[in-house]
Structure 1
Amino acid sequence: MDHNMDHKMPLPALILGFGGLIPFIWGTACLYNPELNALSVEMFGPRMSSPFIQLSYGTIIICFISGILWGFSATVEDATLRTYGLILSSIPAIWVFFMVGGGPVQSAINLIVGFIAVLALDFYYNYLGLNPKWWIRLRVILTVFVVIFLGIIAFA
């Protein structure tokens, strides 16, 4: 499959990508609105309070992207490049396993570092032609928003 031929961003990817920002927005709204935070906890349980919404969802999303990069790597014909790609794509999930959970501020900072590092991997994979051309545009936009919302947790 030639990923380089895919220049147009698929509408479902755009919709689902921006839909994936909802937990970050929701958690940020809960941070600044105690009534909404209380309602969120009442409806969904204590892990759905801010900042845990953003931190747990951010962890999930880094692991999700890590898996996508694994999938991009798995399709590479060159065995050496495939191996490096598989190794690199595993690092973000390992990062969050070890670096998220030491308190909300430190966890948010470590997630920010993780998202920026994953974006760097996205650029590297893009350079190698391992991902669709539209992928990097979507990832840059979404990463900017995610870093802003996690920054609010880390530095607010």
Structure 2
Amino acid sequence: MSNPAPATSIPRAPLALGLAGLIPFLWGLVTSFVDVPQVSALFTGYAVLADYGTIILAFMSGVIWGFATRANGRQAATFYVLSVIPALWAFFFAFGDFALLTLAAGFLFLLPVDRAAMQLGLAPSWWMRLRMLLTSVVVACLVIGHFAP
């Protein structure tokens, strides 16, 4: 029998699903630089990065809400308040010429929230390893995509 994985190892299912969730970001980035004539402009480049980035930032609001449900009292109230910020951020600020940079800032804002949730035991011990991996790719795609021709 093999030894169990250390507590900080990311379980396979969240890792695989998290990596799969990067596909639209990577597609958006690649198609920001490579013309794909058979595909509508709505499914390439900036449009994909902005639309999918908005969806995932709003999804992260739900993740923080989930942390709040595991907390009590002031901690719960704080995480409930924090949980609405990413979705509202995307709704109010992720549009126009700077949408991708605004979304990147939103994803970076989440990191201290994620770290606090993990330190308080509201997120699993491997949470930050996953979030750092995913966030680094997402932010890189959004920032590079912003500067694409």
1:155: Cα distance to partner? Answer: 2.4
1:122: Cα distance to partner? Answer: 0.7
Q: How does 1:7-22 map to 2 (within 5 A)?
A: 7-22=8-23
Letter in 1 for 2:38: L
1:6: Cα distance to partner? Answer: 5.5
Counterpart CA distance in 1 for 2:121 and 2:77 is 16
Count of residues paired in the alignment: 143
Letter in 2 for 1:85: F
RMSD value over aligned CA atoms?
Answer: 1.6
Counterpart CA distance in 1 for 2:17 and 2:116 is 23
Counterpart in the other structure of 2:81: 87
Runs of 4+ in 1 over 4 A off after TM superposition: none
> Matched residues, percent identical?
37
Letter in 2 for 1:23: P
| Aligned with 1:129 (options 104, 121, 127) | 121
Counterpart CA distance in 1 for 2:131 and 2:15 is 10
1:9: Cα distance to partner? Answer: 1.8
Given the superposition, is the C-alpha separation of residues 6 and 85 from structure 1 closer, same or farther in structure 2, using an over 3 Å criterion? farther
Letter in 2 for 1:51: Y
Give the unaligned 5+ runs of structure 1.
none
The reply on whether 1:155 has 2:140 as its aligned counterpart is: no
Would the aligned equivalents of 1:62 and 1:118 in 2 still touch at CA under 8 Å?
A: no
What TM-score results when the alignment is normalised by the length of structure 1?
A: 0.85
What TM-score results when the alignment is normalised by the length of structure 2?
A: 0.89
Give the unaligned 5+ runs of structure 2.
1-5
Q: How does 1:1-156 map to 2 (within 5 A)?
A: 7-34=8-35, 36=36, 38-41=37-40, 46-76=41-71, 78-103=72-97, 106-156=98-148
Letter in 2 for 1:22: I
Counterpart CA distance in 2 for 1:93 and 1:24 is 18
Residue 26 of structure 2: SS of its match in structure 1? helix
Letter in 1 for 2:57: I
Counterpart CA distance in 2 for 1:152 and 1:7 is 30
Residue 129 of structure 1: SS of its match in structure 2? coil
Would the aligned equivalents of 1:23 and 1:57 in 2 still touch at CA under 8 Å?
A: yes
1:8: Cα distance to partner? Answer: 3.5
Counterpart CA distance in 1 for 2:27 and 2:131 is 20
Q: Please say which of residues 46-55 and 10-19 is displaced more in the overlay.
A: 46-55
